[in-house]
Structure 1
Amino acid sequence: MSFAEWFFSLKDQMSDEQIARLVCCLWSIWKARNGFIFESRAISPAITATLANREFMNINEARETTSLSSILRSASCHSQPRGSRRNPSPPPGPFERIVHCDGSFVSESQLAACGITIADAHGQVIDGKAERFYCSYPIQAEAFAILGAVVLAAQVSCPTCIKSDCQRLIVALIQDPCDWPWQCRATVARIVSLLQGAPWIKLSFVPRRFNSLADWVARNVRLDLLPQDWIVIANLISPLL
């Protein structure tokens, strides 16, 4: 029996969700196989299964976002942009929060992490988030970091500027929401949807050297080296980065 015959025999007995899960699983196995042969990467069934499940979740979210095109078109028609790529951000207001976010990714293991720091107008880190996960592309890690920052900022109706060094995503979100990277379509859709309901949030691109603290958090949590009291430590090491 050929692969096509086997697949179509299963297709008639499976739901759309089961077919999507099967395709994601086969794709992840194929990608792991290619990584082993062409890049000498170690094969981990657990990581392969985790990545397959994450890809399925992305596809499922994209399917459920039925109004994605209208959301993106609406966002691109806002008269007031959420930030500026070319002009530097003005100084924060007395009650504005500054959120820096960054993603960290290792292609060999596909282990990723995001680091998010929340500071007051005086630059004092008051909160943050650090999380490890698996993904397939570096830009997915960056998108998850921005999404995490937007989720935190949307919970409190306080003027907030979210800064990231991923210029491609920030420009897509600010200037051309329809030009999002295909690798993180579902994540970008969620970001755009959240931003529509949180007009107090603005986005800004910053060079990597000005995002060093979020990079430090993301890199260390990925390496499992981030101390529990990292928010306190962040205020101490921030001037040194």
Structure 2
Amino acid sequence: MDNLYKRKIVPDPICPLCKQEVETVEHTLLLCSWTARIWKSEPLQIKVSRTGLTRIDEWLYKMKADPNHTTKFAQIAATLWSIWKDQNNYIFGHHPLQPKQTVFRAAALQENYTKWHQKSKGEPPTSTHINRWHPPTPNSLIINIDASFAPVEVAASDSQANKGTVEHRGAIACICRDSRGHLVDGFAKPVAVSSAEQAEAIAFLETLIFLSNKSQLQLKVFSDSFLLVQSFST
């Protein structure tokens, strides 16, 4: 924002989040009041000092060289990306800022990167390990749920009142398999949501409602949403 102000692209260089300081890269990613809450939270627990902080690249170099933070560097990188993305979602999409969710998203990003980009020398890639599906026991079901989300701009052919606006559309699905691995039930439906996380949560809620008449069976529900699983395990 500070650079845009100097180029006379925006009229105000003040941070749109805290509305207290000039929005520089260092302020946005490290020093803003909402950002500071993220760095202080678990599992990072990093206190960013304003003393001597002049450039983000210098701060990253110090974090990389500090033995107390070396093992956290992947978390730091993922957190920086999540902060930047969530700030843009707030400014341009009016999504509320939720520091805890930003931390969860960073953890999910790091986990996915570690899973698919294993680079430890002498260690076989994690992708060589095959996870085989195991059928449930009799009188039980395995439930898989999933969701998708995509903001869609209203087409020009739509009403002029809505032209140029963005609709948030998603879809949820659930499949049920028995002890023989056969598909025995399930559903899929569109939903109106404002984020991928909301779509995953609605998928879980709709699945519970859908399975309410199957309480006599043992149910095992699986989701590939790290944030959803993490929410229930904390």
Q: TM-score, normalised by structure 1?
A: 0.38
User: Whose Rg is larger?
Assistant: 2
The higher relative CO (CA closer than 8 Å, separation ≥ 6) is in 1
The structure with more helix, counted as a fraction of residues:
1
Q: TM-score, normalised by structure 2?
A: 0.39
